[in-house]
Every structure is written in C-alpha cells, then in structure tokens.
C-alpha cells in the first residue's frame, strides 16, 4: 500500500511539473529574434537627423598609427533623400559648390585631392547609411553602409598632373546603432584602387548626437 501511494505521489508531482513547464513564458530568444529585420527602418533617422541648418553629428575615426580616436571630424551634415526616408546621407545643401568631410576622406586623400579643403573635394553623397532594427520596434540594430563609389574632386593643379578632375573611392561596410545612447559604430571598407591603393582598407568610426570622450 505504501509503495502504491509513493508511486502515485511521484507520478502526480511529475504531471504537475510538466504542466508548469508548458505554461512557462517563451525565452528571450523567442521574443527577440537574433536576426535583424530585412527591411530598413526610418525610426533611427529621427534620432540621428535634425532639420536644422548646419546640424552636424559628432564623428570620430580610430587612427591605428596613434592607437587613438581622432578629434571630432567637422562638417558631417546628415541629410535624408526625398525618395527614401529610411536612409541617411551626408551632403552640404547650405553652401553652393561645397561638400562634407565624409568619413574624413578629404584628409585621408589629401594628396590625391591636392588640399584639405572640403569646398574643393566637393564630397556629397545622398545615400550612405541604412538602419535595420534587431526586431520589430527595437531601438538597436545593424547599420549598413550602402556600397557605392564616392566622387572626389581635385584642385586644378592636381587635376593637371593626371588630366582628370576627379577620382572615385569605393565605400561599403556595416556596424551597429543604438537609439538610446544615440551612437553609431561603423567599420567602413574603402576601395582605393582608383588611386593605386588596396581594394579593401578597413577603418573604424563612431558617430553620435552628443560629444563622446574616447581617449
């Protein structure tokens, strides 16, 4: 009799535990998929863009030679193309025949340009970054650099040496963004073959709405 009661009690406990297990809420992985959405979102645009003249993001580049982050790279004016509100570009609509310091390219390619002056380099790229949330409604996610060739102008003197007034540098890459901290971290890949350089030079950047202390 004792053995029957013991077995019955054991079976009852197992049944109760199984029922409780079936009622457990889904684990975090079920609630929050690890694969970001495949459709770009305009949510992050509201964080990293402001419709104010000469509004700039704080942009820094990691310098492997000094093993430090650079000072703020000025003249990064975010813009949003009229045909796609989910994309962030960088261009200068405020000064005629000027441009921006996209990814510090005027400095990186100063020799090819012939100057550091952004008015000469005239870099204006309408579509640069797209944001893909970690899941529907997420404030974090993956940011992608739209692959393309960036056209960069030269000084008259530099152009005279080659007979060509412009050159192209390819860009691509990806990173992460956080709408809460208002920070974008990127690895940008540059194709410098047009000026005799490597096909894949990787550089790290961080962009933010507010100033960062990095070094």
- The ranges assigned to domains in the chain are 28-208
- Averaged pLDDT score across all residues of the chain: 88
Q: Are 186 and 57 in contact (CB under 8 A)?
A: no
4 vs 182, higher pLDDT: 182
Q: Is the pLDDT of residue 175 over 80?
A: yes
Res. 37 pLDDT band, cuts 50 70 90? confident
- The rounded distance, in Å, linking the Cα atoms of 191 and 174 is 15
Q: Are 180 and 140 in contact (CB under 8 A)?
A: yes
pLDDT of residue 45: 97
pTM of the predicted protein model: 0.82
pLDDT of residue 95: 96
Instruction: For residue 68, give every residue at least 6 positions away whose Cβ sits within 8 Å of its Cβ, in sequence order, or none.
Output: 62, 214, 215
Q: Which residue has the tokens 């457990």?
A: 24
Degrees, nearest 5: CA angle 153-157-162: 75
37 vs 128, higher pLDDT: 128
Q: Is the pLDDT of residue 136 over 50?
A: yes
Nearest Cα to Cα of residue 147 among 174, 166, 124: 174
Res. 162 pLDDT band, cuts 50 70 90? confident
């Amino acid at each position: 009799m004792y053995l029957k009661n013991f077995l019955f009690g054991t079976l009852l406990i197992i049944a109760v535990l199984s029922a409780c297990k079936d009622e457990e809420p889904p684990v975090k992985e079920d609630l929050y998929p690890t694969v970001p959405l495949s459709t770009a979102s305009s949510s992050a645009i509201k964080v990293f863009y402001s419709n104010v003249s000469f509004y700039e993001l704080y942009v820094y580049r990691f310098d492997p030679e000094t093993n430090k982050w650079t000072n703020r790279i000025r003249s990064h004016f975010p813009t949003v193309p009229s045909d796609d509100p989910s994309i962030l570009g960088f261009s200068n609509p405020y000064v005629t025949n000027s441009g921006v310091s996209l990814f510090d390219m005027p400095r990186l390619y100063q020799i090819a340009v012939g100057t550091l002056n952004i008015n000469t380099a005239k870099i204006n790229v309408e579509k640069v970054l797209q944001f893909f949330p970690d899941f529907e409604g997420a404030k974090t996610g993956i940011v992608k650099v739209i692959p393309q060739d960036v056209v960069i102008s030269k000084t008259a003197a530099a152009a005279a040496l080659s007979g060509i007034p412009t050159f192209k540098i390819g860009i691509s890459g990806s990173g992460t963004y956080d709408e809460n901290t208002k920070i974008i971290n990127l690895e940008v890949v540059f194709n410098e073959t047009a000026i005799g350089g490597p096909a894949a030079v990787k550089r790290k950047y961080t962009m933010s709405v507010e100033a960062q202390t990095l070094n």
